[in-house]
Structure 1
């Protein structure tokens, strides 16, 4: 029997997304949709005086992988700068494309190793990247 695509950890994350609901009077907003799977993530942010994420809100309409990714993104986004998020997004893209052979402890974002079953399924990559892309776009909108 092969490994399950949707593990218990993925489903648990997908059902516990932090920072749900959009912020009133945000500094920046992004509304992104994945053309491959139809997932949609809306992110609103408020930044501190140094451009780091102070608060975020999100609305997520996605598969379990997109929801789990949104949960991971939101769990560790507070305090991150645009450059840190840009670097993390590039590292996650490399990780998904197997450009780096990361061990579970070396993944580019805390908890990302839970999404390991999707690395070999390129059709899921768009949903996984979408929350990170939406957060970065919201930060760029705030500038």
Structure 2
């Protein structure tokens, strides 16, 4: 059973501060790829736009309509995403998933900060929302790379 103390811990001041300050909140006018992801349980959505140069993100935009946890995860991504390769984004995505599902370590540099979401491990119904931004970004990068090779 969830107690009020558990919920206060889950929605910490740091999570709420991150959720209130999401970088790159403006959609791109001419992205190479756009991907929208939705968490089926809660209905949270994230749409990501990317432009890539030399295998790295050079421009990024995101539209985040998610709970505070999903917003915090998108904020952490937004702080670190410019200049990253798909391998780096996928490694962060995989580490975040392992942190939530298997008690693994949070993503490492350059994607530091996700440890703030460790209390969400016990709330499986929130995992999909937390994963949206990284999932959408990895998919958008793959789509942009395919388009560049076509």
Q: Provide TM-score, normalisation by structure 2.
A: 0.86
1:28-63 deviations in Å (ceiling 9; x for gaps): 110111112100000001111x21111100101000
**Which segment drifts farther, 6-15 or 108-117?**
108-117
1:36 partner SS = coil
State how far apart, in whole Å, the 1-side matches of 2:103 and 2:67 are.
25
CA RMSD of aligned residues (A): 1.3
Q: Which structure exhibits the higher relative contact order, with contacts defined as CA atoms closer than 8 Å and separated by 6 or more residues?
A: 1
Alignment map for 1:22-33 (pairs within 5 Å)? 22-33=27-38
Q: CA contact under 8 A between 2:18 and 2:75: conserved in structure 1?
A: yes
Q: CA contact under 8 A between 2:18 and 2:72: conserved in structure 1?
A: yes
Which residue of structure 2 aligns with residue 68 of structure 1? 72
Structure having the larger proportion of residues in helix: 2
1:75-103 deviations in Å (ceiling 9; x for gaps): 11111111111121111111111342x3x
Which residue of structure 1 aligns with residue 86 of structure 2? 82
2:91 partner SS = helix
Match of 2:16 among 11, 15, 27: 11
State how far apart, in whole Å, the 1-side matches of 2:63 and 2:103 are.
30
State how far apart, in whole Å, the 2-side matches of 1:21 and 1:87 are.
25
2:102 partner SS = coil
State how far apart, in whole Å, the 1-side matches of 2:21 and 2:141 are.
23
State how far apart, in whole Å, the 2-side matches of 1:57 and 1:84 are.
18
Structure 1 segments (4+ residues) deviating >6 Å: none
1:11 partner SS = helix
Match of 1:130 among 121, 124, 132: 132
Any gaps of 5 or more consecutive residues in structure 2?
146-150
Match of 1:40 among 45, 56, 75: 45
Any gaps of 5 or more consecutive residues in structure 1?
none
Q: Provide TM-score, normalisation by structure 1.
A: 0.90
